[in-house]
Amino acid sequence: MKRDVDADFLALPLAAVTEVAIGSAQAAGASHVDVRIERTRTGLLSLRDAKAETQSDETLAGLGVRVIVNGAWGFASAPEISVIAAKQLALSAVAMAKISKPLSTELVSLVTEPIYANQKWVSEYEIDPFQISDSEKRDRLAHLSNELLKSATVNHTSALTMYVKEQKHYADSYGTSTTQQRVRVQTQIEAISIGADGFESMRTLAQPAGFGWEWMGSEHWNWDEEIAQLPTLLAEKTAAPSVEPGRYDLLVHPSNLWLTIHESIGHATELDRAIGYEANYAGTSFATPDKLNTLKYGSALMNVTGDRNTAHGLSTVGFDDEGVAAQQWDIIKDGVLVGYQLDRRIAARVNRDRSNGCAYADSPAHVPIQRMPNVSLAANPAGPTYEEMVASMEDGIIIKGDKSWSIDMQRYNFQFTGQQFHRVKNGKILGQLKDVAYQATTTDFWGSMKVVGGPSTYVLGGAFNCGKAQPGQVAAVSHGCPAAIFDQVNILNTVTEAGK
CATH architecture of 7-238: 2-Layer Sandwich (3.30)
Q: Model confidence at 222, in pLDDT bands (50, 70, 90)?
A: very high
When pLDDT is averaged across residues 271-284 and rounded to a whole number, the result is: 90
In contact, 129 and 329? CB cutoff 8 Å = no
**Residue 161: per-residue pLDDT:** 98
Alpha-carbon gap, residue 78 to 175, rounded angstroms: 23
Residues in contact with 126: Cβ distance below 8 Å, sequence separation at least 6, in sequence order: 1, 211, 212, 214
Residue 500 has a pLDDT of: 64
Q: How far, in Å, CA of 370 to CA of 341, rounded?
A: 8
Residue 135 has pLDDT above 70, yes or no: yes
User: Residue 195's pLDDT band (boundaries 50, 70, 90)?
Assistant: confident
CA pair distance 168, 178, nearest whole angstrom:
8
Please answer whether residues 280 and 371 qualify as being in contact, where contact means their C-beta atoms are separated by less than 8 angstroms: no
Min mean pLDDT across 102-111, 155-164, 196-205 is at 196-205
Per-residue model confidence (pLDDT) at position 281: 79
Question: Tens digits of per-residue pLDDT, 15-72?
Answer: 999 999 999 999 999 999 999 999 999 999 999 999 999 999 999 999 999 999 999 9
Local structure of residue 372 (DSSP, 8 states): -
H or E element at residue 333: strand 328-333
316, 277 contact by CB (below 8 A): no
Q: What torsion do the CA atoms of 128, 130, 136, 138 make, to the nearest 10 degrees? A: 120
Burial environment of residue 404 by CB neighbours within 10 A (0 to 12, 13 to 18, 19 or more)? exposed
- Mean per-residue pLDDT, 444-453: 98
How many other C-beta atoms are found inside a 10 Å radius of the C-beta of residue 11? 8
> What secondary structure letter does DSSP report for 353?
S
From 7-11, 197-201, 438-442, 463-467, the region with the lowest mean pLDDT: 197-201
Q: What is the chain's percent helix, strand, coil content, to nearest 5? A: 25, 35, 40
Residue-level pLDDT at 74: 98
> Once rounded to an integer, what is the mean pLDDT over residues 272-282?
89
CB 347 within 8 Å of CB 111: yes
Percentage with pLDDT > 70 across the chain: 100
Q: Average pLDDT, stretch 450-454?
A: 98
Predicted confidence (pLDDT) per residue in 251-262, tens digit: 999 999 999 999
Mean residue pLDDT of the chain comes to 96
Distances (CA, A) of 274 to 100, 255, 292, 339, 340: 25, 27, 11, 11, 9
Q: pLDDT digits over 359-376, tens only?
A: 999 999 999 999 999 999
- Residues 403 and 472: their CA atoms lie apart, in Å, by 23
Give the whole-angstrom CA distance, residue 479 versus residue 304.
Answer: 10
What is the C-alpha to C-alpha distance for residues 224 and 94, in angstroms, rounded to an integer?
Answer: 56
Q: Give the pLDDT score at 497.
A: 84
In this predicted structure, the answer to whether residue 196 has a pLDDT above a threshold of 80 is: no
Q: How confident is the model at residue 1 (pLDDT cuts 50, 70, 90)?
A: low
Whether the pLDDT of residue 245 is over 80: the answer is yes
Least confident of 100-109, 204-213, 284-293: 100-109
124 has a pLDDT exceeding 90:
yes
Q: What is the pTM of this model?
A: 0.97
What's the mean pLDDT in 187-214? 93
- Domains of the chain, by residue range, sit at 7-238, 246-497
Exposure class string for 409-446: b at 16+ Cβ within 10 A, else e:
ebbbbbbbbbbbbbbbeeeeeeebbbbbbbbbebbebb
